[in-house]
Amino acid sequence: MTDVRAFRGLRYSVDHVEVGLVTCPPYDVIAPEAQAAYHARDPRNVVRVELGAGSTDPRDTPNRYTDAAAALAKWEAEGVLVREESPAVYLHEHEFEFGGARRIRRGILVAGRLHDWTEGVVRPHEHTRAGPKADRLALLQATATNTSPLWLVYHDDDGAVAASLAAAWTRKPDVVADADGEVHRLTVVTDVKTLGAVRAAFATRPTYIADGHHRYETSARYRDDRRVRDRHGDPNAPYEYALWLLVDASDPGLIVRPYHRVINSTGITLDEAIGALHADADIRSLDPADGVTGALSALDEGGGSGPACILWAKGKVWLVAPHPGGAWKSRLPAGHSEAWLSLDVVAIDSLVIREAFGIVASVEESGASREVTRLRYSPDASEAIRQVEAGEADVAILVRPVRVAEICAVADAGDRMPPKSTYFHPKPVTGLVLNPLD
């Protein structure tokens, strides 16, 4: 099913740079102050390609996209970036801290064929918006290079993928980079027999987008444009593929954080919202003095097998657990799969966000309401609560993380998750390997 291949990656030369100083996160998690910091860290930092400081209007000359192409050409000419001599796949070991412990996530960087969603080979779990895709398309058109990998997961129940790379994982890494408290170890695999075994192993299974839906659709659009320009050209041309990071769905370092909801300016009082929920949910007061740890512990324990959330207002906290067999289920949006209907965030977005607070999350997220944003999101429960306690928001709604198995089940059903359902953490680093498409 899934077609993955080796490719001749473009990598930083360790003779010219300290790799940890020239990487950055993917564009969509770089705040403005971080963008400036990465630009200042090293003049060859890949942020100049991934998220440059120039104009975002392609009609301006120069702009951030032409600047990105110029930087790539300059670094390659100077030997700062070097093309791999032979096609390779790249083993990536990502060490980071989460929950007070050091974690390790293993992944495989490959060139993955771009399948249309309707083929069911690569399976999405969320919808996309036009804005980010226009920006990424302009970058692709200017550079003809994948800078940050799409992040996909797969099931290796038969162990075939692990077996194909078992020996390669025992090798000493070719690159070790320390970046922002995280350690990245990269091993270059060029052995033809191993590459064939990897390709054969993935040919028997689908893959699932974890992070990068916008960039996937942008890559497919770029592919289609190149097909027209090249008059359908070579079906195995580099632009028929994109840079992927593949991670086993059972990897112990694969972490999905929840997106907590933060509400403001709805015109509905907290008493009115609580009153609206009483018919459909069990509501229990908690002690705000127990803090975020106490609230999240109560959330883990109090939901049982059904959905649950925490409502945190200034000085007041409640555990809300919708009745498992309640009438509210008949009011859920029609036309969705059982996998979708069973999600916590579906119940919370429908019963709490929409019915109790009068906000339709999908409309709010799209910007179609044309009102002041009343619904925001944060993967950090402490930050969501801080906004409430600081008077920046009326209420925080803390939710439980979605499990990887639930994400895959929704994707298998051809469905899409509600807005801001998943936050895969931490994001793959940009700059360890680039994928030229020419």
* Cis peptide leading into residue 252 (ω within 30°): no
* Residue 203 within a domain: yes
Q: What is the pLDDT at residue 369?
A: 52
Residues 249, 385 share a domain: no
pLDDT, one tens digit per residue, over 141-176 is: 999 999 999 999 999 999 999 999 999 999 999 999
Residues 358, 238 share a domain: no
- Residue 402 buriedness (CB in 10 A; 0-12 / 13-18 / 19+): buried
Q: What is the pLDDT at residue 306?
A: 86
Residues 300, 247 share a domain: no
Residues 200, 55 share a domain: yes
Residues 232, 184 share a domain: yes
Q: What is the pLDDT at residue 413?
A: 97
Supply the CATH number for residue 298's domain.
3.30.1760
Which segments in the chain show pLDDT lower than 50?
A: none
Other Cβ atoms less than 10 A from the Cβ of 12: the count is 24
Give the pairing type, strands 101-113 and 423-425.
Answer: unpaired
Q: How many domains does the chain have?
A: 2
* Residue 59 within a domain: yes
Residues 216, 284 share a domain: no
* Angular region, 46: left φ>0, alpha ψ -120 to 50, beta rest: alpha
* Residue 164 within a domain: yes
* Residue 416 within a domain: no
Residues 206, 90 share a domain: yes
Residues 221, 100 share a domain: yes
Residues 217, 277 share a domain: no
Q: What is the pLDDT at residue 298?
A: 95
* Residue 384 within a domain: yes
* Residue 334 within a domain: yes
Q: What is the pLDDT at residue 371?
A: 54
Domain extent at residue 272: 259-400
Residues 267, 248 share a domain: no
Residues 269, 203 share a domain: no
* Residue 46 within a domain: yes
Residues 266, 243 share a domain: no
Other Cβ atoms less than 10 A from the Cβ of 228: the count is 9
Report the alpha-carbon distance of residue 346 to residue 19 in Å, rounded: 42
* Residue 179 within a domain: yes
